[in-house]
């Protein structure tokens, strides 16, 4: 018996495969504020928690464009 690897998109509830490289996974982190010389151009996140919330690329593109991912276009 193979495990069911599909999950639903957090916004549109369409099934997504968490192993697909185009699917986004929610990550929550804590950032330690460092001085510019200590950061060296990289991220200074010291702790990161991954949650089992996934989003499809279409919904993420809508969010980046400033649209509500749950609202369909009326055009």
**Residue 1 — very low, low, confident or very high, per pLDDT cuts 50/70/90?**
very low
Residue with token string 């919904």: 59
Q: How far apart are CA 54 and CA 43, in angstroms?
A: 23
Residue with token string 């593109």: 61
pLDDT at 35 exceeding the cut of 60: no
Judge contact between 71 and 25, C-beta under 8 A.
no
* Mean pLDDT of the region 25-49: 66
pLDDT at 58 exceeding the cut of 80: yes
More confident residue, 22 or 41: 22
């Amino acid at each position: 018996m193979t495990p069911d690897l599909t999950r639903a998109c957090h916004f549109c509830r369409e099934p997504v495969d968490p192993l697909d490289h185009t699917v986004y996974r929610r990550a929550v982190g804590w950032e330690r504020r460092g001085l510019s010389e200590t950061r060296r151009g990289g991220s200074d996140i010291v702790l990161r928690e991954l949650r089992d919330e996934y989003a499809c690329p279409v919904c993420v593109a809508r969010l980046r464009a400033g649209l509500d991912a749950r609202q369909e276009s009326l055009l």
